[in-house]
Amino acid sequence: MIVSVTMNPAVDETLTVPQFRLGETNRIQATDIDPGGKGLNVSRVIRRLGRPTVAVILIGGETGEFIRNRLEREGVDMELVEIEGTTRVNISIIDESTDVQTSLNHEGPRIDIGDLHAVERKIEEWLPELEVMVLGGSLPPGAPPDAYARLIKWVRQTEIRSILDTSGQALTEGIEAKPYMIKPNLRETRQVLGRDLKTDKDIVAAGQELVGRGIQVVVISMGKEGAIAVAEEGAWKARPPIVEKQSALGAGDSMVAGLAIGLSEHAGVAESLALGTAAATATVTTPGTELCRPDDVQELLPTVKVEKIA
């Protein structure tokens, strides 16, 4: 069983405009509204790919109810922690003329220590079946920066393997807790290590440094250039096929879903990386905040090239 934890979910609204003009009236060409949040999206993709998953989510207000209803329709099992505040709304504007995406993200509602304890109790209910725990997304106001780190340390006492996909101080603190796997992108990796990463050799060296801190697998995503996975036994680069891009929203979450499935099924690093890359690429071909379709993932999987590079 794969359990995802999303402490700061959102309702994601994507607005597509022919040409975005700052300070002027812009006519919206298309609108997409979906549940959002890294961990939540991971569970949605895992469910689409036919594997068991439970999403632990903090929700509140009418927007929280929207998330609940949508996940019920998609058949995603949930463990919900009701909070006093209202789940945030994030807005992304896509300029079709330039393919530039602008995001406007709320901080999210404030939570307290009682909400965090409730999350722990929800996870504890699934411990007998839990194999992989995915911690994803930002932390809401009121959550300490080591909130993910605490959960990682907790499950490290068992055979449960954790995957961390966040940024900023939450990522820095989480790395110190030694999760089994992390999946930062290039920008996040640069921020953690404080240096530029220009070549594959630089990226492999960065991954090796993080593995040296006690992380078993480091996957660094690079957008259309694919991803590099580093473990003690070596490094692999996944190259996705060329596809017609519609939106990159949710691609990273889809990659984590594939990696989590690989971990839960005891696949090798290369095989897990291939599935994650196929899921991410399939999501890129969908509009707005829509996630990958299962048939597309299966069609793209044989076209993903994974080679050992170190």
Active site residues: 253
Rounded CA-CA distance 179/161 in Å is 7
Are residues 227 and 219 in contact, defined by beta-carbon separation less than 8 angstroms?
A: yes
Rounded CA-CA distance 261/78 in Å is 18
Report the side by side order of strands in the sheet with 30-36: 30-36, 10-17, 88-95, 100-104
**Vertex 124, ends 118 and 127: CA angle to 5°?**
155
- Token pair listed for 103: 């995001």
| Closest listed residue to residue 132, CA positions, set 233, 36, 5, 41 | 5
**Vertex 268, ends 57 and 156: CA angle to 5°?**
45
Residues 6+ apart with CB under 8 A from 276: 219, 227, 238, 254, 255, 256, 257, 258, 259, 262
Are residues 22 and 152 in contact, defined by beta-carbon separation less than 8 angstroms?
A: no
- Token pair listed for 23: 């300070």
**82-115: string of b/e by CB count within 10 Å (b at 16+)?**
ebebebbbbebbbbeeeeeeeeeeeebbebeeeb
Give the position of tokens 């050799």: 201
Are residues 122 and 79 in contact, defined by beta-carbon separation less than 8 angstroms?
A: yes
Rounded CA-CA distance 164/234 in Å is 20
